[in-house]
Amino acid sequence: MTDTPALPRVAAMHDISGFGKCALTTALPVLSACGVEVCPLPTAILSTNTAFEGFYIHDFTPCMDAYIRHWQKIGLAFDAFYSGFLGSYEQIGIARDFVRDFSPPLVVIDPVMGDNGVIYKTYTPRMCEGMKSLAEIADVLTPNLTEACVLASKPYDPDRISSADIESLARRIADLGAKRTVITGIERGRHLVNCILDENGYSERYEKRFPFMMNGTGDLFSSVLTGGLLTGHTLYESVDSAAGFLSFTMEHSRYYPDAARRGICFEPYLYLLKGGVFKGDA
């Protein structure tokens, strides 16, 4: 009898919403569909995603140390650490300590801070500045344009999106310590561009742009990308997989009720991630 190989295991440090497709409610099914074991490390618990007025939020910070200590006590090890929305400034230090103590071979940081030039209300200037210390430990960093500008200490200017502009942002972020940076969702005409800076230099990958928006697209992109990396695919393959799956599921979700607020209805298409990357509709 041969030994069954262990699944790649990721610690996913994100918030969780009772309704609305984002953060852990996206990362858990998507990474599982890729063939990855997901161990959730909640940062906050919300009744809904933040697109719905009057949502309830509970900061999980006071519970996290005991939660992590138990993982250490039972000897858990991880192939990756993947973080997204953080609920407090203290969680930046918790994330850094986790990476130091568990030494996962892959660290993916989605520096969730804002979008369209607007910083989320829960993110203070101190938190935004502190996020630079997470960029320092990232093997892969996945900011959108707003977050890239914060990390690079540059003003947000949606008109400065040429290849030279974005490469300059990516290189400033690399100076913080990030090994590979993917600046996501740059809008150029009818295209969305995902811009990669790694050891091979700067490159861009183009995808169709839709004339509508949905919540949770960044979380879906980064989760699919992480699933690709953890199943042995290259960064370029994983970026293309994430962009392709995002485009495919957005197009198929647009007529679901309240899809813009509730997020992409990706569940019927998770089977297309078998093997770790999206290969198109089978």
Pull the structure tokens for residue 229: 């990396």
Q: Find the helix or strand (DSSP H, E) in which 12 lies.
A: strand 9-17
pLDDT recorded at residue 250: 95
Pull the structure tokens for residue 35: 């063939």
Residues ≥6 apart with Cβ < 8 Å to 261: 20, 49, 51, 52, 215
Residue 102 CA from chain centroid, whole number: 20
Q: Could you state, in order of their start, the residue ranges of all structural domains in the chain?
A: 9-273
Distance in angstroms (rounded) separating the CA atoms of residues 102 and 149: 30
pLDDT recorded at residue 166: 98
Rounded to the nearest 5°, which phi and psi values hold at 171? Answer: -70, -35
Beta strands in 137-254 (DSSP E): 140-141, 180-188, 191-198, 201-208
pLDDT recorded at residue 1: 47
41: β partners: 13
Residue 43 CA from chain centroid, whole number: 14
Dihedral class, residue 249 (left if φ above 0, else alpha if ψ from -120 to 50, else beta): alpha
CA angle 14, 18, 21 (to 5 degrees): 65
Contact, 266 vs 30, CB < 8 A?
yes
Pull the structure tokens for residue 2: 């041969």
pLDDT recorded at residue 122: 87
Contact, 89 vs 126, CB < 8 A?
yes
Sequence-ordered alpha helix ranges (H) in 176-255: 217-230, 235-253
User: What's the predicted TM-score (pTM) here?
Assistant: 0.96
SS3 content of the chain, % helix, strand, coil (to 5): 40, 20, 40
Distance in angstroms (rounded) separating the CA atoms of residues 5 and 66: 30
- Maximum C-alpha span of the chain: 61
Distance in angstroms (rounded) separating the CA atoms of residues 111 and 85: 7
> In order along the chain (282 residues), what is the average pLDDT of each group of 10 residues?
82 97 97 98 96 94 98 98 97 98 98 95 93 97 98 95 97 98 96 96 95 92 98 98 97 92 96 95 68
Question: Is CATH 3.30.450.40 what the domain over 9-273 is classified as, yes or no?
Answer: no
